[in-house]
Structure 1
Amino acid sequence: MPGYSIRALQADDVEVVLQFELVHKSFFEQSIEARPDEFYQPAAVQQHIADF
């Protein structure tokens, strides 16, 4: 059985994070303010990870 691990986001996680955000966008927007459309670009996600 595979295990799970938790680690901090890394610079090469951009595509995975972007896809996760896009797939779950409508769910998140039910509870929090919508992110601007500009967020859903690789460069913006990269900056978000760097800020994190």
Structure 2
Amino acid sequence: MTAEHKVATPANWKQGSDVVIIPAVSDDEARERFPGGWKTVKPYLRLVPQPK
């Protein structure tokens, strides 16, 4: 998922759970990749539903 979608899985992640947008992705790029938005837990920790 990291190479294709630029997301990472948190510890204890289960299939279908939210994933983390990697910090190397800017907010502008994230808006393009994830038009449905994301949940910001910390400025460096942004969660989105698992990409299909």
Alignment TM-score, normalising by the size of structure 1: 0.26
Higher normalized strand content (fraction of residues): 2
Q: Which has the higher contact order (CA 8 A, sep 6+)?
A: 1
**TM-score of the pair, normalised by structure 2:** 0.26
Is the helix fraction higher in 1 or 2? 1
